Chains A and B, each alone.
Chain A
Amino acid sequence: MDTESSPVETVEARAGEAAPERERRASAGGTWRRRLRMFVLILGPGIITANVDNDAGGITTYSLAGAHFGLDLLWTMVPILVALVVTQEVCARMGVVTGKGLSDLIREEYGVKPTFWVMLALVLTNLANTAAEFSGIAAATEIFGVSRYVAVPLSALLVWGLVIRGSNQVVERVFLVACLVYLAYPISGFLAGPEWDEVGHALVVPPARFEPAYLTMMLGLVGTTIAPWMQFYQQASVVEKGIGPEHYAYERWDVIIGCVLAAMVAFFIIIACAATLHTHGIRIEDASDAARALRPLAGPYAAGLFAFGLFNASLFAASVLPLSTAFYVCEAFGWESGVSRQFRAAPQFYGLYTALIVIGAGVVLIPRFPLIPVMFLSQVANGMVLPLVLFFMVRLSSRRDLMGTFANTRAFSLALWTTSAIVSVMTALALAGLLGIW
């Protein structure tokens, strides 16, 4: 070899000779396997969002629906699932195409005033939801005989500390695995031995019931399943993950699978509660009543199992809600946000985050605070804010200048408007119902 001419070149060329064979080997795999791998990579935002959805408020509302109304509300799960898939899909699509969060988009396209009102509504309902999560923690730990005056402040501190720790991906995964405890409901539902033809009938034929309590419960079901924070959270996590339009097909499946899982859990909680509580005329006054729904599976351990599930769900959601709320608000108003910043650099972010946790946990410590009603009513509040959020979502996702070829088709827009209209009518009915109760 002629080292005189250009040593650098030759040395470099030699490094190149070692070119690996694995490059060529890798591409030989079948396309379906590649697709599957792609899907697993993308998987996440939809499924995580849907699982956070089954939080303290969710479990409580589904339990109440089954215990107090038997199978009479089961039919709502079908339209609710459809609406859930449709709304979550829109958010994922907007995130993928625009690369921006929902609050970001609302601010950029509609200005300060609409953003202010949406954010105000979101902060208030999310505060109520946070209070519900801490109520769930209190209810769960009291089953284990731990006082809420110990458990709630400790949990609040733990959740608040998460922000200091930075990345909570590990925590997220632990919670997600613990979500397997929800499998207890389908098993318990089967073991309780409901009349399956009755279940089938109840799923398809809505009973003609219009009393206020029934309508309010219905709105609670909508509000807990299609909670407004979910749309913001879903879109933000899609953006965060950096999923591009070319991978959108996978993300859509992620969303659909997540929504179906969430609805399945809800479905079986209602069935289990209807079969074990409603048939015996037991009303849920506190969490230990709701735990009876797991007796067919766990017998004497039902209370413990339920408490574990409720505690996990509550803590999971409590660690997600205040943090994400603070993010959306700061994003919308252009304030510094992010856990890597110093407190001084992001006062609004830390202030809001801390306030949500302190107030949310604080109210639960008020003596004789009604845990179950708060968990339920926060979900009704969700239902009331939902039409407002849906309005912006439909408008934004229909715009060609923003979404290009990913804009809603006419048929899809129509489906979305119908969803919004139905939820709005239910909100009006439930409001009337609530006013009627008082």
Chain B
Amino acid sequence: MEVRGTASAVVSASAGGARVAPSPSAFVYLSRLLDRSVEDALGAPLGQLDDLTISATEAFPRVRHFVIRQAWPSPLRLVGRWADIADFRGASVRLGVQASQLMPALPDAITEVHLRRDVLDKQVVDTSGLKIVRVNDVQFLTTALELRTVHVDVGFRGLVRRLGIEPLIDGLVHRLRPQATYLSADNLISWRFIETLSPGTPAHHLQLSLSRAQVDQVHPVAVADLLEGLDPIRRLRLFRALDPEMSVQALVQLSLEVQARLLETMSQLEAVSLLERMPPDDAADLLAALPEEVRQAWLGRMTHTEASEVAGLLAYPPDTAGGLMTTEFIALPATLSVGEVLERMRQLAPSADMIYYIYLVDAAGALVGVLSLRSLIVESPSTPVAEVMLTRPVSAQADDSLEECAALVAKYDLLALPVVRPDRTLLGVITVDDVLGEVLEQAWTRKLRG
């Protein structure tokens, strides 16, 4: 293959994601290549360049194959290796091989990521800024032997280029405002931060960097915002790419409506396993928002303990203490010593949300006291908890209203409020964030209505 002078000069400058442009000729845009006519080594026309494929596993993926669209009505595409291209900078793309060395294929027979089919004009996730952008163009870095995908163009200039009026607009802007940011600032995003969401690409591709490298460091709320902004199909795709921990945390941050929609687009199995991993109170809220037959079916498939917890919570109206509470809390016999409690805590804590209060129950399961994490640490291990616990703790009944619970939490400065039956049997715990969330939501609804 012919080695071009301009290209070889920048091999060393393959700095990748850097936003500094070495020499302009080192970069080439996908839009400049697509739909150009292709001729073979002998100059015979073959068709138009239809697409380029890349290997998804590399950081800055090389272009592997090119696809030629033959003249209508042939449904077959011709596929060749990028190395077979001798020159792509002229008026037409010239191959270094003859047509017979290309491989005929049906359009969807090629499984690599297609830049036009799967990336260009599509919405992708910019994982550095964690937002959704639409790809206006793809930028390659040319080296002696290969074309590497380095940036996607999401800016206005990319649109102008695609419209084929870049010289015109550039000239105009240059005349009117030579110092305009339009001319200097290209809105490029490094390929490293791009995750495609198109259904055609293999799922593992998406999983690679998104779950581990970037999304892990962001707050679930940010991921939830991102999910809300997507259409249902892409939302599911991105959701599946998250790691299990993050997916649950982000899910509960979504509005109930979006949660329900998301789960309804999943397979039943997937939805059920997700429900089992959710905190029971959130799972109950979500199930309450679903149509009855779906709720029945899913509850029926959950493991027995999870299902009975969630179904128990579902029995209470949403605006009552019963509807707000979670059944994940720590309750221990009041007969233990401080040291024994600490030991139990070490075993139990990972699964419970609220570990700052330890509730103490008698043999019948009735609430007799509460112990803060603070006193647990301060007191000597041999002291019986019955001596240091706060007896007759503040509690709510399952049918108490949200306002009553909120008032108790506020009055006694509680992080959590136990919910008991009239016989003081401990049913569950309302955490302060659940109360706060509900109160705020109601306040907003009132404000918006009024």
Listed in ascending order, the chain A residues whose CB lies under 8 Å from chain B are 1, 3-4, 7-20, 22-23, 26-27, 34, 38, 41, 98-100, 104, 107-109, 111-113, 116, 166-167, 170, 239, 242, 244, 333-334, 401
Pair A112/B314 contact, Cβ less than 8 Å: no
Pair A18/B312 contact, Cβ less than 8 Å: yes
Pair B233/A98 contact, Cβ less than 8 Å: yes
Pair A244/B232 contact, Cβ less than 8 Å: yes
B179 within 8 A of A: no
Q: Mark B316-334, 1 if CB is under 8 A from A, else 0.
A: 0000000000011111110
B120 within 8 A of A: yes
A-B contact pairs, 22 of them (CB 8 A): A1-B365, A3-B361, A7-B332, A7-B361, A11-B427, A12-B305, A15-B427, A17-B308, A18-B312, A26-B296, A27-B296, A41-B291, A98-B233, A99-B233, A107-B121, A108-B121, A113-B164, A239-B232, A242-B232, A244-B264, A333-B134, A334-B133
Question: Which chain B residue has the least Cβ–Cβ distance from A247?
Answer: B264
Q: Which of these, B135, B136, B233, B427, contacts A14 with CB under 8 Å?
A: B427
* Closest CB pairs A-B (n = 5): A334-B134, A16-B308, A20-B315, A112-B162, A242-B261
- Sample of 14 further A-B pairs with CB below 8 A, known A8-B330, A15-B327, A16-B309: A3-B333, A10-B365, A11-B327, A12-B305, A12-B309, A15-B313, A19-B315, A41-B291, A99-B234, A104-B231, A112-B163, A170-B449, A334-B135, A334-B154
A402 and B449 alpha carbons, distance in the complex (Å) = 41
- For residue B108, which residues in chain A have a CB less than 8 angstroms away from its CB? 401
Pair B122/A108 contact, Cβ less than 8 Å: yes
Question: Which chain B residue has the least Cβ–Cβ distance from A9?
Answer: B305
Give the shortest distance, in Å, between B262 (CB) and chain A (any CB).
9
Q: Which of these, B232, B299, B312, contacts A17 with CB under 8 Å?
A: B312
- For residue B410, which residues in chain A have a CB less than 8 angstroms away from its CB? none
B448 within 8 A of A: yes
Pair B134/A107 contact, Cβ less than 8 Å: yes
Give the shortest distance, in Å, between B186 (CB) and chain A (any CB).
15
Pair A11/B361 contact, Cβ less than 8 Å: yes
- For residue A18, which residues in chain B have a CB less than 8 angstroms away from its CB? 312, 315, 427
Pair A11/B331 contact, Cβ less than 8 Å: yes
Pair B311/A16 contact, Cβ less than 8 Å: yes
Give the shortest distance, in Å, between B18 (CB) and chain A (any CB).
24
- For residue A17, which residues in chain B have a CB less than 8 angstroms away from its CB? 308, 312
B123 within 8 A of A: yes
A98 and B234 alpha carbons, distance in the complex (Å) = 10
Pair A23/B296 contact, Cβ less than 8 Å: yes
Give the shortest distance, in Å, between B435 (CB) and chain A (any CB).
19
A38 and B121 alpha carbons, distance in the complex (Å) = 36
B80 within 8 A of A: no
A22 and B307 alpha carbons, distance in the complex (Å) = 15
Pair A12/B327 contact, Cβ less than 8 Å: yes
Question: Which chain A residue has the least Cβ–Cβ distance from B325?
Answer: A15
A111 and B122 alpha carbons, distance in the complex (Å) = 9
Given contacts A11-B361, A20-B311, A166-B448, contact A334 B123 (CB under 8 A): yes
B245 within 8 A of A: no
- For residue B448, which residues in chain A have a CB less than 8 angstroms away from its CB? 166-167
Pair B265/A244 contact, Cβ less than 8 Å: yes
- For residue A98, which residues in chain B have a CB less than 8 angstroms away from its CB? 233
- For residue B243, which residues in chain A have a CB less than 8 angstroms away from its CB? none
- For residue B133, which residues in chain A have a CB less than 8 angstroms away from its CB? 334
Pair B159/A34 contact, Cβ less than 8 Å: no
Give the shortest distance, in Å, between A327 (CB) and chain B (any CB).
13
Give the shortest distance, in Å, between B416 (CB) and chain A (any CB).
14
- For residue A111, which residues in chain B have a CB less than 8 angstroms away from its CB? 120-121, 162
Pair A23/B299 contact, Cβ less than 8 Å: yes
Give the shortest distance, in Å, between B43 (CB) and chain A (any CB).
29
- For residue B428, which residues in chain A have a CB less than 8 angstroms away from its CB? 15
- For residue A104, which residues in chain B have a CB less than 8 angstroms away from its CB? 231
- For residue A108, which residues in chain B have a CB less than 8 angstroms away from its CB? 121-122
Give the shortest distance, in Å, between B121 (CB) and chain A (any CB).
5
B364 within 8 A of A: yes
Pair B159/A333 contact, Cβ less than 8 Å: yes
Within 8 A of A (CB), among B254-282: 257, 261, 264-265
A3 and B121 alpha carbons, distance in the complex (Å) = 62
B58 within 8 A of A: no
Give the shortest distance, in Å, between A34 (CB) and chain B (any CB).
7
- For residue A333, which residues in chain B have a CB less than 8 angstroms away from its CB? 134, 159
Q: Mark B341-362, 1 if CB is under 8 A from A, else 0.
A: 0000000100010000000011
A7 and B352 alpha carbons, distance in the complex (Å) = 13
- For residue B134, which residues in chain A have a CB less than 8 angstroms away from its CB? 107, 333-334
- For residue B314, which residues in chain A have a CB less than 8 angstroms away from its CB? 20, 23
- For residue A113, which residues in chain B have a CB less than 8 angstroms away from its CB? 162-164
A116 and B156 alpha carbons, distance in the complex (Å) = 13
Q: Which of these, A3, A8, A12, A23, contacts B362 with CB under 8 Å?
A: A3
A9 and B362 alpha carbons, distance in the complex (Å) = 15
B85 within 8 A of A: no
A112 and B31 alpha carbons, distance in the complex (Å) = 10
- For residue A23, which residues in chain B have a CB less than 8 angstroms away from its CB? 295-296, 299, 311, 314
Pair B332/A116 contact, Cβ less than 8 Å: no
Give the shortest distance, in Å, between B132 (CB) and chain A (any CB).
8
Question: Which chain A residue has the least Cβ–Cβ distance from B334?
Answer: A3
Give the shortest distance, in Å, between A121 (CB) and chain B (any CB).
15
Within 8 A of A (CB), among B230-262: 231-234, 257, 261
B397 within 8 A of A: no
Give the shortest distance, in Å, between B367 (CB) and chain A (any CB).
10
Give the shortest distance, in Å, between B237 (CB) and chain A (any CB).
11
Give the shortest distance, in Å, between A8 (CB) and chain B (any CB).
6
Pair B293/A1 contact, Cβ less than 8 Å: no
Pair A239/B231 contact, Cβ less than 8 Å: yes
